[in-house]
Structure 1
Amino acid sequence: MPRWSSPSICPISDHKLRRSFGGSEINNHIQWLIEHGITAEHIGELIAGLCDRLTADGFPIWRGSISMPSIHPMYGGVSANFVRDGATTIENAEYGSAAVLNFEKTPIYFLLGRGETSGRWNIAKGEGVDDYPQLAEFAHGGGTDHLVSLLEFPKEAALRGVSLSLTSDRPGGFSDDQLAIVAKLFPALGLACYRIAASKTAADILAVYTGAKTSARILAGEIQRGKGGSINAAILLADLRNFTALTEVYQPGEIAGFLDEHFELIGRHVEDNSGEILKFMGDSVLAIFPTDAEDPQKACMAALASARNILEANKVLNGQRRNDGGPDIGVDVVLHLGEVFYGNIGARGRLDFTVIGSAVNEASRLEKLCGTLGHHLLMSESFAVTSAVASECLGSFELRGVSKPVNVFKLAGTD
């Protein structure tokens, strides 16, 4: 078991604080934190501004950091790191990264485990240097004193709290007065961080579940049921071929893993070409590429580039999985062009921001022909004509729910 260093706690009376640092100065810093907590876009602005202000007041701050957990499918936490006379950086700690895996070797983890809200390590005397790699690094760079303060957010919030870390490189480090001032300022800093984190979390989670463009519309106030409008768009519908049969062979966890792998490559190539995924439907993906009234061909070519890249990437993925004894999973892609209603659909308390209309239904019906015709990529006539890509008509087909037969196309020269 490692020998965890106990931090030094140096309380100070308000009487001594008032003699050394006026209440008006503290109030000015609190006012600054509140004002910037309302307007700042990220916590980096707070740590940089606060450290600059305190340094101007004589605080021997060499490094400063704000760290918070994240509610994000890719990142476990975020930190903003200030360095005197250097740039302030933002770091997102990805799941599985060294920052996440080594969290147990940090002063913050030590304080959380003991239920304590603050700690101080005299780096110049070697406190914590043997236990925490970060403090060893600071000591090597000339650090002398390290302070950590923790603030817990409401227990019902998944954003559990915020930590403030300040490091000095001055002999003797921070004074008792300066520690007390930091304690006075920390609640206002925590409140500002909570506001920024709550706003960012709302935007991040909406983007994850609805797409970046759709989430921006929702956050702009388009949340009423039925609110939306008609747009013209290239529609991409991708479906995993014969995927249902795999559920009888593989365990649910394995099935979910296969889905994630294929959805990841589909999503990546849709987004790389300025499209947006609107819905995952079982083993299918619905995406749109809104058209420009003056140049509808541009959206079609973007959708076609996505489709081609998806099919090529799927071949690579299947080849990798085949080497591990896994299944080949084909992807069928249909491209269509038409008018859709883009907006809020659903019950009063549960909405879906998506597209509906005959064009969406036709794309869904066209997808069923991929297996019948033996092609992984099919196009509607409206898409083939507008894209002006070299294509071949496979014939005219009846589609369920569509009043007239439709002409179906494939790319010229493909099997």
Structure 2
Amino acid sequence: MLPGFGGENGHSRFPVPCGGSKINDHIQWLIEQGLTSEHIGDLVAGLCDRLIADGIPIWRASITMPSLHPMYRGVSANFVRGGATVLENAAHGSVEERNFEKTPIFYLLNRGERTGRWILARGEGLDYPQLAEFALAGGTDHLVSLCEFPKEVALRGLGFSLTSDAPGGFSDDQLAIVKALVPALGLAAYRVAASKTATDILAVYTGARTSARILAGETQRGTGGSINAAILIADLRNFTALTEVYQPSEIVGFLNEHFELIDRHVEENSGEILKFMGDSVLAIFPTDAEDPQKACMAALASTKNLLKANEALNRERTKNGGPDIGVDVVLHLGEVFYGNVGARGRLDFTVIGRAVNEASRLEKLCGTLEQHLLMSESFAATCAVACEYLGSFELRGVSKRADVFKLADAVS
């Protein structure tokens, strides 16, 4: 939400603040919170409560920061005196993002300034929709302070906004106190945001379960262990042929649509996608040693839901002349190694092993058998749902022939 910061000085000039010991107390509190807080809402709410207790007439406040999350352009924590502090995300393409140019923060960024003040009681800033709304509700004074972060990261900085509803607004001494606190606030917010960004982005790229293990310290090549899991491999049928007909941007759009619905139904049943491989998806549902059937039923529920959702997606797309893209799914149950695999400087936290290889080979039979869902013998025997035997087949690179099943017609 804050694309960048420029300029060395804001257009406001504040006097040297009074009450240095109080300021030092607030700075110490901000540093401590920066080390322990989990989100910026703690910072804005706690600091405002402390400043209000010191007599600074804060009615509303917010911290606004950019975000590296693929779904959100920015995040803000909004404080209201006597109310709850609310965290809000501005999605890419949202009204909030489109209206960013109509905000005081954008005004300061565009002018290369760090601070700005609009005395609402005098009618200043009413061309900004938010400030007009504040003025109408009794706001008298609005202050914005910007803090710049290192340019090497996309978290460029923060905007700290304070609004007063007191008749005289903020005094010069109070403005100076706020100015003295902004660097410590920025440092604390940067630590909180950097930590959350690392957690969120790692989860986006590796999955929530896997990212938790990585952040817990499982980063050495070869670390991991054997687990039993239901394995789901989903592949878009005849997708390669579409690359001869459609532009790359269209192909990416189709992939994203299908991957989105696969992820949604895998995640809602406690599974996790580990890898996107071209037009295929590898997901696992770790089993409980005492109840492996639970993981199999979760994987089966995910599959049935995603196949149904894929049919709906194709119906909608073909109405507009787009392609009908089928999804083939294989379900298998077996032991896998779950951990770090790769080169010293480039690792993949994934699953490997005979069961993964067998599932991949089974997927090739979907087209041959004209089935969108196939199950291995181990999966069919464990899932406790009526299945139909389709035959025994040789799998490339697998010594033992594989017995293959589908759902019985009565439960398809």
- The match for 1:198 among 194, 201, 211 is 194
Contact 1:228 1:342 in 2 (8 A): yes
After TM superposition, give the deviation of residue 11 of structure 1 in Å: 2.4
**Per-residue deviation, residues 231-280 of structure 1 (Å, max 9, x unmatched):** 00000000000000000000000000000000000000000000000000
Contact 2:15 2:172 in 1 (8 A): no
- The equivalent residue for 1:174 is 170
**Per-residue deviation, residues 209-234 of structure 1 (Å, max 9, x unmatched):** 00011001000000000000000000
Secondary structure of the structure 1 residue equivalent to 2:409: coil
Secondary structure of the structure 2 residue equivalent to 1:327: coil
- The match for 1:41 among 24, 33, 38 is 38
After TM superposition, give the deviation of residue 388 of structure 1 in Å: 1.4
Q: 1:112 to 1:413 in 2, by over 3 A?
A: same
Write out aligned runs for 1:219-258 (5 A).
Answer: 219-258=215-254
Contact 2:78 2:85 in 1 (8 A): yes
Secondary structure of the structure 2 residue equivalent to 1:41: coil
- The equivalent residue for 1:11 is 13
Q: 1:112 to 1:9 in 2, by over 3 A?
A: closer
- Structure 2, unaligned stretches of length 5 or more? 1-9
- The equivalent residue for 2:84 is 87
Ranges of 4+ aligned residues in structure 1 off by more than 6 Å: none
What is the identity, as a one-letter code, of the residue corresponding to 1:73?
Answer: P
CA distance in 1, matches of 2:122, 2:176: 22
TM-score by length of 1: 0.96
After TM superposition, give the deviation of residue 9 of structure 1 in Å: 5.2
**Per-residue deviation, residues 363-391 of structure 1 (Å, max 9, x unmatched):** 00000000000100000000000111100
After TM superposition, give the deviation of residue 97 of structure 1 in Å: 1.3
After TM superposition, give the deviation of residue 98 of structure 1 in Å: 1.2
Contact 1:33 1:189 in 2 (8 A): yes
- The match for 2:281 among 279, 285, 294 is 285
- The equivalent residue for 1:109 is 106
- The equivalent residue for 1:5 is none
Q: Kindly indicate whether residue 357 of structure 2 is the aligned counterpart of residue 355 of structure 1.
A: no
- The match for 1:267 among 263, 270, 273 is 263
What is the identity, as a one-letter code, of the residue corresponding to 1:59?
Answer: I
- The equivalent residue for 1:184 is 180
Secondary structure of the structure 1 residue equivalent to 2:74: strand
What is the identity, as a one-letter code, of the residue corresponding to 1:284?
Answer: S
CA distance in 2, matches of 1:28, 1:163: 22
- The equivalent residue for 1:4 is none
Q: How many residues align?
A: 402
**Per-residue deviation, residues 47-105 of structure 1 (Å, max 9, x unmatched):** 00000000000000000100000001100000000000111000011111111110000
- The equivalent residue for 2:20 is 23
- The match for 2:366 among 362, 367, 370 is 370
TM-score by length of 2: 0.96
CA distance in 2, matches of 1:144, 1:291: 60
- The match for 1:301 among 269, 284, 297 is 297
- The equivalent residue for 1:126 is 123
- The match for 2:409 among 393, 401, 413 is 413
**Per-residue deviation, residues 109-154 of structure 1 (Å, max 9, x unmatched):** 000000000000011111110x210001001100000000001111
Q: Kindly indicate whether residue 142 of structure 2 is the aligned counterpart of residue 142 of structure 1.
A: no
Q: Kindly indicate whether residue 56 of structure 2 is the aligned counterpart of residue 59 of structure 1.
A: yes
Contact 1:44 1:81 in 2 (8 A): yes
CA distance in 2, matches of 1:87, 1:206: 30
CA distance in 1, matches of 2:334, 2:153: 43
- The match for 1:331 among 327, 332, 335 is 327
RMSD of aligned alpha carbons:
1.0
CA distance in 2, matches of 1:235, 1:10: 61
Secondary structure of the structure 1 residue equivalent to 2:213: helix
Secondary structure of the structure 1 residue equivalent to 2:133: helix
- The equivalent residue for 2:5 is none
Contact 1:11 1:176 in 2 (8 A): no
After TM superposition, give the deviation of residue 10 of structure 1 in Å: 4.8
Contact 1:146 1:166 in 2 (8 A): yes
